[in-house]
Amino acid sequence: MNEAAACRVDWQLSPFLRGFCEAPFAAEINEFIQTHASAFRESNLDGSHPLRWTELHKEYAALFERQLQAVVQEEGFSLEDFRDHIAELREFAAQRAPEEYLPGCEPSFIPPGKGIRVEEFWDFLEALTASKNFESFKEVMCAAARRPKKSPEACGYTRSPAAEEGSGYRPSQPPDVDELGTPLEPPPPPPD
């Protein structure tokens, strides 16, 4: 049964993920983050944030929504198919090493593609989560504000400090969000 499910993911729904992990879209997301990261250099001591941050989150979310609509239209699948596909990939990725490829996302020559590794999937899921959850977005943007800019030829999704330190989403610790990035439970309170 699991093999049958993996086959369905392999050839039918992998275009969803490929559509989000393609270099031009990942570069667009990284450009957005780098362009607007400076707005997140300072935060208010009272925990509030500038209205501009909310506006930027809406713009960021719109990038993902536009890409989702393009992929759905091109591939002819529904949003529910996308959610199911991401859920299946989360389960798969949680049991695999970061350097392994996702099913149906191995490197190929026809069509040409470098493939999508488990580690790249977690980075993508983190970026997707940030498009649906303001706190995740704020974390990604604040982290980007603290680090030097990426070179223009770098592609792939920007990682949060948690991912860089090895304590973020990784196969041994899947994120506590649903397939579209909505938290499944509230995050723990910050340490005193």
pLDDT tens across the length of the chain (192 residues):
344 344 344 445 566 677 777 788 889 999 999 999 999 988 777 878 899 999 999 999 999 999 888 877 777 777 787 788 788 888 888 999 999 988 777 887 666 777 888 898 888 888 888 999 999 999 999 999 998 765 544 445 555 555 555 434 444 344 554 444 444 554 455 555
pLDDT of residue 110: 66
Distance of CA 103 to the CA centre of its chain: 17
Domain ranges of the chain: 2-41+48-164
Which pLDDT score is estimated for 76? 75
Residue type for position 94: A
32 touches 60 (CB < 8 A): yes
Per-residue confidence (pLDDT) for residue 116, from 0 to 100: 83
Predicted pLDDT of residue 16: 66
Q: What is the pLDDT of residue 141?
A: 93
* CATH superfamily ID and name for 2-41+48-164: ADP-ribosylation factor-like 2-binding protein, domain (1.20.1520.10)
